[in-house]
Amino acid sequence: MIKYDSIEELVTLAEKEGRKISEIILADQALQIGKSEEELYQQMEKDFDIMTESFAWGQQPGQRSNSGLTGGEGVAMMQYADKGESLMGTFMGKAVATALSISNCNAAMGRIVATPTAGSCGILPGCLIPLYQEKKIPKRDIVMSIFTAGAFGMVIAGKASIAGAQGGCQAECGSAAGMAAAAMVEVRGGTPTMCASALGMALVNQMGLVCDPVAGLVEIPCIKRNAAGVVLAYCAADMALAGIPLYIPADECIDAMKEVGNQMSSTLKETAAGGLAATPTAQRLKEQVFGDRKAMTAG
């Protein structure tokens, strides 16, 4: 059985067996939980279907979060992408719109798949859904790549953290971008080593990212960080597929992320006491959301 202690362990095992990382993970997980590989695959396919449903839910006009602070970002971005005016190109515009829509769904208390967290739920599906819907990548290839993403996420969780409250947003959106980049590399036929490189490249480009949710809610700036995470994941995946070396091993990147998180001030780790959350406008928005509730409590 695999211990999920390091990325190197997964890469070495996959290369030794001449298989994709997802294939060895599916076999290992089926053995560990006592299910057949097909049963486990079907469960992951269901998770991917929920991701696509969350995207569609977030594309419905008029959806707002319970706080009233956010809503409609995904719809607006999709309309813009459909016009063919996106500086990133129509495909990337739709990928960003997908991430925004799923994040909108989360903020409005809709159904999402935490990948690896609710706050970063838009990144992995924001990368994979467009490959399936726009690039027509076979569904099984997409679903299988999620096993690779999940395995890398398990290593990150064990070696460092995937929680903003513990490691800052680098631990949430950074991890999600790395997981998504690795999954996309596998989808496009990259080697296990390339998958690891993509993970590391995404992590180093989110290193030090703070978690500073306005009013303590996973909306501002979280939703837009999901969109940026998608772009970063695609960039990391393409660099890895181009054969650009990471230089620093992925495991060491994870270790560095943990160290940075440990050194980060508590005000920058989901406490809404620093960063963007401490700005005058953020404080006014907090009062807008919670002001009436405070008055009711005092009464």
How far apart are the two ends of the chain, measured CA to CA in Å?
Answer: 59
Provide the β-strand partners of residue 211.
Answer: 269
Q: Count of CB atoms within 10 A of residue 68's CB? A: 11
- Report how far residue 266's alpha carbon sits from residue 251's, in angstroms, rounded to the nearest whole number: 25
What does the pLDDT profile of the chain (299 residues) look like in tens digits? 999 999 999 999 999 999 999 999 999 999 999 999 999 999 999 999 999 999 999 999 999 999 999 999 999 999 999 999 999 999 999 999 999 999 999 999 999 999 999 999 999 999 999 999 999 999 999 999 999 999 999 999 999 999 999 999 999 999 999 999 999 999 999 999 999 999 999 999 999 999 999 999 999 999 999 999 999 999 999 999 999 999 999 999 999 999 999 999 999 999 999 999 999 999 999 999 998 554 434 44
Tell me the pTM. Answer: 0.95
- Sequence-distant contacts of 25-29: CB under 8 A, at least 24 apart: 25/147, 25/148, 25/150, 25/151, 26/144, 26/147, 28/1, 28/2, 29/147
Give the angle 225-231-237 at the CA atoms, nearest 5°: 130
Radius of gyration of the chain from its Cα atoms, rounded to whole angstroms:
19
